[in-house]
Amino acid sequence: MHYIDAFNHFFPKALWQRIQQLDGAGKDIGRRMQGIPCIYDLEARFRVMDEFRDYTQILSLGMPPLEAMGGPELATEFAKLGNDGLAELVEKHPERFAGFVAALPMNAPEAAVREAERAFTELGANGLQIHTNVNGAPLDEERFFPIFEAAARHGKPVLLHPSRTSSMPDYATEDKSKYEIWWTFGWPYETSAAMARLVFSGFMDRLPALKVLAHHMGAMVPYFEGRVGPGWDQLGKRTSDEDLSLVLKRLKKRPLDYFKDFYADTAVFGSRAATLCGLEFYGSDRILFASDSPFDPEKGPGYIRDTLRILNSLDLPKEDLEKLCFRNAQALFGLSPH
């Protein structure tokens, strides 16, 4: 079997070195990245990849989002450094890296559109990585629409990555999230909320060709199919200060149908139950193998190994297993057949 890992993370050398010059580079998520050589050291990356046969990756940058590291000018500089570096890795090591998704300075939307165009037309980017909020702002703000429009125009997917920090408390009486709840439960909520905003804002109707992959098996959506389906069919029944039934009338199909239009990946940290739930919801045509490497306890191979073990244990026809392992990635990212 051939495997294309659709969502994993790496920092090209020039960008990694530039980030280390920032104040606060060794705090929180940044400190975690410094402790995982496989996310910035190419030889360490290759050693991990060598553990798996016929295995290639679609590269994307790691956390935090570029717009969280500095103002528009700095984020734009980082995006160019990152995208140039990822494109160079794909060009130099095609047997390792099947493609990459570009990063954007989302706090500078006009510059982000220009960078997306450059990435697609000059660098050969296979998609865009966009985080679920832009320094706290929702993705359905009109200033971000041209970015999604660019992806749809080029026939390239948007990969939706969660972003949330401990500064968003779990309770209104507190000023920060405790016990990393902001990550464990907060990130799936973030992704699900961003998906909902793209649906109910009408972005998906306005861009019918738009393809969005929701990281971590579509987040909460498959498990909450009943709430997303019959529950949201009753949108407005729980709200008295505005008429939300008008939103349903505006949409071209029922909410559940939009959520089934998303793509998902298998990066669920080795959970067979989550994999089966997602497969039941999305079907074999919309799920891509992904590991989220190198964030496992072994700092590289663990999530790849666990995910492959689950995939290969599924009672699926060979054709469907091939879709999950590599054919869906080839189609979504515009890769040449294996």
pLDDT in tens, 86-121: 999 999 999 999 999 999 999 999 999 999 999 999
**What local confidence, expressed as pLDDT, does residue 29 receive?**
60
What does the chain come to in residues?
A: 338
Long-range contacts of 36-44 (CB under 8 A, 24+ apart): 36/294, 36/295, 36/299, 36/300, 37/299, 38/293, 38/294, 38/299, 38/300, 39/9, 39/10, 39/11, 39/294, 40/10, 40/11, 40/13, 40/16, 42/13, 42/89, 44/300
CATH 3.20.20.140, applies to 3-333 = yes
Q: Distance of alpha carbon 322 from its chain centroid, rounded?
A: 21
* pLDDT tens for each residue of 214-239: 999 999 999 999 999 999 999 999 99
Q: Residue 20 pLDDT > 90, yes or no?
A: no
Per-residue pLDDT band for 23 (boundaries 50, 70, 90) equals confident
Four-residue CA torsion sign, 16, 17, 21, 24: positive
Indicate left, alpha or beta for 117 from its phi (over 0: left) and psi (-120 to 50: alpha).
Answer: alpha
Determine how many CB atoms are found less than 10 A away from the CB of residue 117: 14
Cβ-contact 141, 166 below 8 angstroms: no
* pLDDT tens for each residue of 36-45: 999 999 999 9
Per-residue pLDDT band for 194 (boundaries 50, 70, 90) equals very high
* pLDDT tens for each residue of 29-70: 667 778 899 999 999 999 999 999 999 999 999 999 999 999
**What local confidence, expressed as pLDDT, does residue 204 receive?**
97
The more confident residue out of 31 and 82 is 82
pTM: 0.95
Specify the 3-state DSSP secondary structure of 188: helix
Cβ-contact 51, 92 below 8 angstroms: no
Q: What is the mean pLDDT of residues 259-283?
A: 98
Q: For residue 186, give Cα distances in angstroms to 132, 172, 182.
A: 11, 15, 4
Q: What is the mean pLDDT of residues 167-180?
A: 97
User: Which pair of structure tokens corresponds to residue 11?
Assistant: 């920092």
Cβ-contact 105, 76 below 8 angstroms: yes
Enclosing H/E stretch for 200: helix 186-200
Q: What is the mean pLDDT of residues 142-164?
A: 98
Determine how many CB atoms are found less than 10 A away from the CB of residue 219: 25
**What local confidence, expressed as pLDDT, does residue 106 receive?**
98
Q: What is the mean pLDDT of residues 256-264?
A: 98
